[in-house]
Structure 1
């Protein structure tokens, strides 16, 4: 039987997929992908994410605002809670801190992240964390705001082994994207060997970061199979085991039931 994989983070709502979304979902099924989570990056996209999640039994959504969206795009707490009040919206995000793309006084990013953590704690839904060149501040804020209470995943992980250890000490999961397959990602590959299987997630971050051998192409959920196979080989694990456990981790983190079938027809 084909292993049932999970793409724990993608942006299937983007216009990049408007013309062939149905076809790529079929390709995902054929690649063994049984669940997909779409992470919103802007408040105007929340409705589209929700509609896509409602349309397919094994598509789930997250509501949040990306750290690189302008300060004026920070949602109200009331609006965020309202968006999270839906059975198919299972996480808060993506959110976080990104000091690489944004400049100046970035206290507003920290305030936005704190708002998302508060929403996660109130709803009991975990947080999807984006962090770039903000490692120390990200960990400090997640500690101070008690993100442990709702749980989190560090998505598209590119940080150090020490960061991974500290995140896992808070009970968080670590998710690897196609970046881990890149030839110049040797340090990241060493980190990937260390992560306990019961804390590991896999993702595409589609349409970005297509894994080898699809690097340079538009990424899509079915390509998570390449990430899974690479990690299984890297870690010396059976692919079926890695697929099974990462899928279990996905359901555990996002409080999801065991799937009855891959997708609604």
Structure 2
């Protein structure tokens, strides 16, 4: 059984000095590909180096809405060059109406510029969308979604909202939230996006599954998310693993 962790943060300080062991544990759990997401320009070279060092690590590069520096677009000037060194997408980028770290107008400016770069370079985007579904859809209508589509990570919207995102070529990854107390809205949404628009993630070192609360979360915990997805969908784990791996390979353009 082969799995793809479609969204994690291997650059995180929690993994410094132990990343080789973390990756080895993930491989033993069945992960055949890790997609690590850099969230600041300072992390871009770290992510690229990880992908160069480990054949089963791919990276996406972007500026997260928490770190968009008052909407300064100059921080994105080096993004196209960095992406050209081997990244498979742009992200983690997006919108967050809950945070007070950055003004929302600044988030929109930085996000829409990253959408433009994704279109120019024919790359998918990896999205952070926290209580900003309508606002993000408005950005797609105004600025245009990438032709390659994208991934809304840790998606928590309804089936109806998911359908609106799918109209713009988006798919969705879910992780530890699959293991949380039973949610009718989540379950209906998951059944709507499966099989063609569902990927598995861990968001390690964040969003632990309930079965593995020890911090930090690690990619190997994807097995708990897989098991929970199987229970919700009523489908064999092997089928879900094959389906989500195929979806990840199609989105990011790698082989598994």
TM range (shorter): over 0.9
Alignment of 1:96-111 (within 5 A): 96-102=94-100, 105-111=103-109
Q: 1:174 pairs with 165, 172, 180, which one?
A: 172
Q: Deviations over 1:123-177 (max 9, x none)?
A: 1110011011211111110232221413111111111222111011222101111
TM-score of the two chains, using structure 2 as the length reference? 0.94
Q: Does structure 1 retain, via aligned residues, the 8 Å contact 2:4–2:31?
A: yes
Separation in 2 of the partners of 1:104 and 1:226? 34
Q: Is the counterpart of residue 156 in structure 1 residue 154 in structure 2?
A: yes
DSSP 3-state at the match of 1:129: strand
Separation in 2 of the partners of 1:231 and 1:196? 10
Q: Does structure 1 retain, via aligned residues, the 8 Å contact 2:176–2:207?
A: yes
User: Match of 2:117?
Assistant: 119
DSSP 3-state at the match of 2:4: strand
User: Match of 1:130?
Assistant: 128
Range that drifts further, 56-65 or 98-107:
98-107
Range that drifts further, 188-197 or 66-75:
66-75
RMSD: 1.6
Runs of 5+ consecutive residues of structure 2 not aligned to the other structure: none
DSSP 3-state at the match of 2:196: helix
Q: Does structure 2 retain, via aligned residues, the 8 Å contact 1:12–1:38?
A: yes
User: Match of 2:85?
Assistant: 86
Once the two structures are TM-superposed, the CA of residue 216 in structure 1 deviates from its matched residue by 4.7
Range that drifts further, 220-229 or 9-18:
220-229
TM-score of the two chains, using structure 1 as the length reference? 0.91
Separation in 2 of the partners of 1:212 and 1:84? 35
Once the two structures are TM-superposed, the CA of residue 25 in structure 1 deviates from its matched residue by 0.8
Q: Does structure 2 retain, via aligned residues, the 8 Å contact 1:204–1:223?
A: yes
Once the two structures are TM-superposed, the CA of residue 77 in structure 1 deviates from its matched residue by 4.1
Separation in 1 of the partners of 2:48 and 2:108? 26
Q: Does structure 2 retain, via aligned residues, the 8 Å contact 1:152–1:173?
A: yes
**For this pair of structures, how many residues does the alignment match?**
255
Q: Does structure 1 retain, via aligned residues, the 8 Å contact 2:91–2:127?
A: yes
Separation in 1 of the partners of 2:145 and 2:163? 16
Runs of 5+ consecutive residues of structure 1 not aligned to the other structure: 260-265
